[in-house]
């Protein structure tokens, strides 16, 4: 197995990069080295620099808070430093919190789907750092889904939200540092950006190929299996069905009290979607939607991760659940992720076209020509343009 070093591991070997600077750090629980040292410890130990402030995304710096729970400011017990929350009363650093910093280091683990909020927390921080004249240093980490495939659709104008501030495919095929470079250049954020790249990572790698430890980046992203279904599974948040929160397999388990699991599984089997089996089951969520109620539904078992089209499959699941019980099925209403007007399903899809098609009784199969095919991103003008933007900002491996 090739030894992969995350950007944090590489930074530990480049102490001169931050020498002489007062440093802020935007990080969370999975911000660790190969041997599980946390970024706070690593940055504090860099000679010649001083860590003075911490910033936390959704779920907080401890990763303990559930989804969409606002986080207040706190103090890091071990480091004795203030922690500025970027998910609560505000989503971006204040100019006060950035004052006096010589650099903001960003070390966040993304999961390869447009909806995951950490990328947008980073983006908003980059905007404010550009205003404040504070350089940003992004430490790269692997995309758990690899870097060879795109999936879903690109959000339409007018559907910008905290689950998609700028247009990206649903499954975007980029690492967090690639996204930083792409967004900085293509969308004119204009911050002073330095990327600390990984070593040994290749686009064809899935997480298991890296040898890096998996630390859950959020309470309901416990395993790599969760990340694989998430490009489609997150769409269930836009409905009144349980997405499996309050179970041990969130996003893989989906259902509602009014669903017949065998009928749903049979309808999905008839779709003949590659790389997946939907197994009928009953479950009782311990919290959130339908807490304490017996739900019928399916567990999504990915049998071939290279072929499985998560976005299309979960649209089909929603379509058949609605057909089975149209009186009980409903779209979730706002507010959702700081959007108070548009329906959650519309901002998740980046368009209302998907919802309208399902409401008209049309199979999502009719949208397949409109979706990005599950193909290597090198075949996409989007990705080629993106790489032209970010590649120039990478440090050379010998730096």
Domains and CATH numbers, the chain: 7-205+381-393 (3.40.50.12170), 224-367 (3.90.1150.140)
Average the pLDDT over 14-37 and give the result.
95
Q: Is the pLDDT of residue 380 over 50?
A: no
State the pLDDT confidence band at 391, using cuts at 50, 70 and 90. very low
Beta strands at 136-139 and 103-107: parallel, antiparallel or unpaired: parallel
Average the pLDDT over 109-118 and give the result.
97
Q: Is the pLDDT of residue 134 over 90?
A: yes
Better-predicted residue by pLDDT, 379 or 237: 237
Q: 110-131 burial string, b = 16+ CB within 10 Å, else e? A: bbbbbbbbbbbbbbbbbbbbbe
Q: Is the pLDDT of residue 21 over 50?
A: yes
Q: What is the mean pLDDT of the chain?
A: 90
Distance CA 83, CA 140 (A): 22
Distance CA 103, CA 50 (A): 10
Q: Is the pLDDT of residue 329 over 80?
A: yes
Determine contact, residues 294/242, Cβ cutoff 8 Å: no
Q: Is the pLDDT of residue 222 over 50?
A: yes
Residue 368 confidence (pLDDT): 74
Q: Is the pLDDT of residue 266 over 70?
A: yes
Average the pLDDT over 118-147 and give the result.
97
Residue 39 confidence (pLDDT): 97
Q: Is the pLDDT of residue 136 over 90?
A: yes
Percent of residues, the chain, with pLDDT higher than 90: 82
Sign of CA dihedral 34, 40, 45, 47: positive
CA angle 55, 60, 62 (to 5 degrees): 105
Average the pLDDT over 273-292 and give the result.
97
Distance CA 6, CA 22 (A): 23
Average the pLDDT over 213-236 and give the result.
96
Two tokens at 123?
């983006």
Q: Which residue blocks in the chain are alpha helix, DSSP H?
A: 7-12, 39-44, 95-98, 118-132, 176-186, 224-233, 261-270, 310-324, 344-349, 353-359, 381-390
pTM over 0.75: yes
Residue 382 confidence (pLDDT): 36
């Amino acid at each position: 197995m090739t030894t992969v070093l995350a950007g944090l591991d590489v930074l530990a070997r480049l102490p001169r990069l931050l020498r002489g600077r007062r440093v802020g750090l935007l990080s969370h629980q999975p911000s660790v080295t190969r041997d599980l040292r946390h970024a706070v410890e690593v940055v504090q130990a860099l000679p010649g620099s001083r860590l003075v402030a911490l910033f936390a995304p959704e779920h907080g710096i401890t990763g303990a808070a559930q989804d969409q729970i606002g986080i207040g400011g706190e103090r890091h017990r071990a480091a004795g430093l203030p922690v500025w929350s970027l998910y609560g009363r505000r989503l971006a650093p204040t100019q006060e919190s950035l004052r006096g910093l010589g650099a903001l280091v960003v070390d966040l683990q993304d999961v390869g789907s447009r909806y995951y909020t950490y990328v947008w927390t980073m983006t908003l921080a980059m905007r404010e750092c550009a205003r404040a004249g504070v350089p940003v240093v992004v430490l790269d980490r692997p995309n758990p889904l690899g870097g060879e495939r795109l999936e879903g659709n690109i959000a339409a104008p007018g559907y910008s939200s905290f689950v998609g501030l700028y247009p990206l495919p649903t499954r975007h095929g980029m690492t967090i540092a690639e996204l930083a470079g792409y967004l900085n250049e293509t969308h004119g954020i204009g911050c002073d950006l330095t990327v600390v790249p990984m070593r040994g990572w290749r686009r064809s790698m899935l997480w298991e190929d890296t040898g890096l430890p998996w630390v859950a980046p959020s309470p309901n992203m416990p395993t790599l299996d969760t990340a694989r279904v998430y490009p489609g599974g997150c769409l269930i948040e836009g409905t009144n069905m349980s997405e499996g929160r309050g179970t041990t397999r969130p996003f893989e388990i989906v259902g509602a009290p009014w669903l017949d699991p065998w009928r749903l599984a049979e309808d999905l089997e008839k779709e003949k979607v590659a790389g997946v089996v939907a197994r009928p089951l009953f479950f009782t969520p311990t919290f959130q939607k339908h807490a304490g109620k017996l739900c019928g539904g399916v567990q999504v078992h990915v049998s071939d991760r290279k072929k499985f089209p998560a976005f299309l499959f979960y649209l089909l699941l929603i379509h058949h659940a609605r057909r089975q019980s149209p009186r009980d099925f409903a779209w979730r209403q706002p507010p959702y992720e700081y959007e108070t007007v548009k329906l959650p399903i519309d901002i998740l899809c980046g368009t209302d076209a998907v919802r309208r098609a399902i409401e008209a009784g049309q199979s999502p199969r009719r949208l397949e020509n409109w979706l990005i095919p599950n193909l290597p991103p090198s075949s996409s003008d989007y990705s080629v343009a993106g790489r032209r933007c970010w590649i120039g900002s990478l440090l050379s491996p010998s730096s």
